[in-house]
Amino acid sequence: MQKIQVYLYPNRITVLTNLDNNSANTEWRIVYQRNVKIYKGIDNVIEIEVKNNDQKRVEIGNDILKLVLMDQSRNLIGTYTAQSMEDSTQVGLARITVPTADLNNLDPQFLKFAVYKDQITGPDVLTYTDSQYGAIGTMQLLNGLNYVTTTTRVYDRFTQETNYTAGRWEDRKTYYNSEGISLNDYRAKNITEVVLKIKLTDFYGTIKVEGTKTEVIGNESFRNPKILLDFTWDGYNGVWTTAPLPIDELNYLRVRYIKTAGSLDSVSLLV
């Protein structure tokens, strides 16, 4: 029988308060902190341990602890109110929960946090992550249970483009271009090939799939495209699934077609 061993430890932050009291015992060193890690895809429960400058727990009592969480650029993620864990056997402990919804749109990074006491009868009191009055702590955000889901994107709007050969009306050709299809989601997942599903109704004509490395889509983005597919149909009716198309360093695709009859109704792909 195979066995997986796991450990259940509290994810705990230690903060200091009352540093100015009993200053003779102040320890001029960084308080040892476990490397606090939180994960995307799950609600993260974090314990807050409040101590004084001689490393003894301090009663929280009626004070309300709040944790302010910021991203690496110090943009606010959220402010969380702690629930007291004090009882007849322990003091100086509380817990907060950072919900998964607040983290899932963030990239893995080192977050910043600060903890303060919201005193009912007086001003707020900042706590410290070390005995030298450092108020800002760090916790690491990692990928965890944020599994990848796939959805279907459908593109059904096409822009008409008419080209004239040597300026002659009778030599005109009318092309239809899809909107730019972003590949950012694929590249973020390290996917190197995509498959398109193209819905056709009695289609007679030529279909091309073009790619571009342009980062911002615009009128000139597909002036010199990379041709990923060039295929001619004589009366196809149904959904055509292409062969895998390598996207390499491409940022956008588009479908471009010219027809003599029928219609190209939509293009879809998984992201």
Question: Is there a contact between 153 and 269 (Cβ–Cβ < 8 Å)?
Answer: yes
Q: Position 82: which residue type?
A: A
Dump pLDDT digits (tens) for 8-31: 777 888 888 866 555 445 554 554
Rounded to 5 degrees, what are φ and ψ at 232? Answer: -115, 135
- In the structure encoding, which two tokens stand for residue 216, read together? 């911002």
Tell the residue number behind the tokens 């916790």, with chain if given. 139
Residue 183's domain comprises 152-270
Output the domain CATH number for residue 236: 2.60.120
Q: Tens of pLDDT along 35-54?
A: 789 998 889 999 999 888 77
Confidence of residue 147 (pLDDT cuts 50, 70, 90): low
Do 186 and 133 share a domain, yes or no?
Answer: no
pLDDT for 152 equals 73
User: Is position 212 within any domain?
Assistant: yes
Whether residues 93 and 166 fall in one domain: no
The mean per-residue pLDDT over the stretch 106-132 comes to 83
**Listed residues 142, 174, 196: the one ending a domain:** 142
226 has pLDDT over 80: yes
